[in-house]
Structure 1
Amino acid sequence: MDLFRLDGDIALVTGAGSGIGQRIAVGLAEAGADVACFDLPGSAGLDDTRARIEAAGRRAVVLRGSVTEAAEVEAAVDAAERQLGGLTVAVNAAGIANAFPAEDMPLDQWQRMLDINLTGVFLSCQAEARRMLARRRGSIVNIASMSGSIVNRGLQQIHYNTSKAGVIHLTRSLAMEWCDRGIRVNAISPGYTATPMNTRPEMATQTAVFEAETPMGRMASVDEMAGPAIFLASRASSFCTGQDLVIDGGFTCW
């Protein structure tokens, strides 16, 4: 089990204020890492993330900014290294989701989705890798989605699907650029997951559809994303790079 331990690792998690990003940040701490938690200035959940990490006996720092701003991402990585030490693990979970008919979608809605979900992941990977490459050591995990590989029935999300498909191929491309320089880059593609976004009261009807269409008959909990992230961050996956780990309850089998 020592293969899965992250003792001595320094991690940065974007989107750490809620949902999958928050649970992974806490999971990395439970596996032994100290964690820098990055999210938007208005994210009230960051303080809770820090408290949960510290309750696990690890160090935590809260960093605020936007993944769409290169200077803010660079500053966050600098602050993480200054306060915790040299970065060895990064999980890029910041992202948004919404829906709109393709034929009527405003350009700014399309662009905002790509700016956050895809360009934001690129800027994060770039800033993280600049430090890791200098030490020839690091594992980067990007949060994509099964929607990057399939088209969800009944959901009008061309911009979201496109952004997540981009994350998967960005992950593979970066993995091949950096594989001989000490950095592994992989992706996790969750299926329908019970995040705060998907468990709002107004989502009840849609949630029932999500559960019915998933072979395992339910949505994932955010807890079920921590294990895959720990695996990809740790020595347990030391020969794994450029992969997209789909965690979907069997959804993409049908």
Structure 2
Amino acid sequence: MTDEASDRASLTSRKIDEMVLSTEDNSLTAPRPPPDGLSPVQRAQYRFQVKGNIVITGGTGTLALTTARALLEHGASGLALWDLEPERANTSLLTLHKDFPHVRITTCHVDLRSKPSIATALSDTIKVLGPLTHLINFAGIVSVVPSLSLNEETWRNTLDTNLTGSFLVSQALARHFVENSSPEDRAGGGGCIVLIASISAHATNFPQPQAAYNASKAGVVSLTKSLAAEWARYGIRVNCLSPGYMDTVLNEGEGLDNARRIWKERCPMGRMGHPWEITGPLVMLCGEGGRYVNGADLMVDGGSGVF
């Protein structure tokens, strides 16, 4: 038998790994309706209650810090802000400590392109907060370069940070969630992951050329759906959020005046988003009322993604 014929024959006898879905009797994926006897106000609070310790990557950015405050307001018991330069959050951190004095808050330096860096940050965070329950991944970079001029290094760095980084940090936290889950414990177990994609995953941005960023964020949406399917049986929900153009410091400056005008004109609501406006969807995804939301991509873009 020739080598080619042998290779073809081996294909017909190969076995592939197959994912396993959850079942109705799995307590890790069972519903958790509000307990009996709650008042209407208590039921409303329960619906958007966020429990446990949360890791937010890209933690010094405006959207991340706005989200951190919202999750603390809804009951998170611990918070870790991971970033390449966590010291940039020092002022905001002091304010959070003042406003939430009974909550444990910490920061960690981490490079999401590096598994050892993620492992160190995870170990250090667990020492301070204990078992973790949520991951929200804001970390990412954008490169605005015409594709004919885009070099390989910039392409790879964008994909490594935005897409590979999303996978590596999700994998690390998911393994931690599994280690700390008990099917016998109906009150706990599992975990929640929210990846941050973008309207760039759904429609080509205009007027800025950013093919690498767009491709990386489309990958994040697809990754979300794959991980949601694989990890549901462990009680781990994986969703993503696709913000539109948000009015943050990253989108300020006279050099962006023309782009900002175009972004507003092409948005059905006629404006950019306020950072506060992503907090409602994120709290829903992280809270008790979002337990049956899995593999979703929520667009928070004022309708910009329809074009």
Taking structure 2 as the reference length, the TM-score comes to 0.79
Structure 2 partner of 1:253: 306
Q: Gaps (5+ residues) in structure 2?
A: 1-43, 182-188
Structure 1 partner of 2:50: 6
Structure 1 partner of 2:123: 78
Return the alpha-carbon distance in structure 2 between the equivalents of residues 62 and 241 of structure 1.
28
For the pair 1:32 / 2:75, whether they are aligned, the reply is yes
Return the alpha-carbon distance in structure 2 between the equivalents of residues 177 and 236 of structure 1.
22
Return the alpha-carbon distance in structure 1 between the equivalents of residues 234 and 240 of structure 2.
19
Percent of pairs identical after alignment? Answer: 33
Opposite residue 105 of structure 1, the aligned amino acid is L
Return the alpha-carbon distance in structure 1 between the equivalents of residues 193 and 273 of structure 2.
22
Given the superposition, is the C-alpha separation of residues 161 and 48 from structure 1 closer, same or farther in structure 2, using an over 3 Å criterion?
Answer: same
Structure 2 partner of 1:98: 143
Opposite residue 135 of structure 2, the aligned amino acid is A
For the pair 1:199 / 2:199, whether they are aligned, the reply is no
2:264 to 193, 200, 211: 211
Structure 1 partner of 2:213: 160
Opposite residue 160 of structure 2, the aligned amino acid is D
Q: Secondary structure at the match of 2:251?
A: coil
Aligned pairs for 1:20-169 (under 5 A) are: 20-33=63-76, 34-41=78-85, 43-57=86-100, 58-134=103-179, 135=181, 136-169=189-222
CA deviation string 1:72-104 (max 9, x = no partner)? 111112222110121101101101112111112
Opposite residue 62 of structure 2, the aligned amino acid is G
Shift of residue 44, structure 1, vs aligned partner: 4.0
Return the alpha-carbon distance in structure 2 between the equivalents of residues 64 and 18 of structure 1.
14
CA deviation string 1:26-61 (max 9, x = no partner)? 2211212121000013x4432134223323312210
Opposite residue 255 of structure 2, the aligned amino acid is E
CA deviation string 1:164-203 (max 9, x = no partner)? 0000011110011101111000000000111211023322
CA contact (8 A) 1:37 1:50 kept: no
Return the alpha-carbon distance in structure 2 between the equivalents of residues 137 and 252 of structure 1.
32
Taking structure 1 as the reference length, the TM-score comes to 0.95
Q: Gaps (5+ residues) in structure 1?
A: none
Return the alpha-carbon distance in structure 2 between the equivalents of residues 121 and 52 of structure 1.
28
Opposite residue 99 of structure 1, the aligned amino acid is V
Structure 2 partner of 1:180: 233
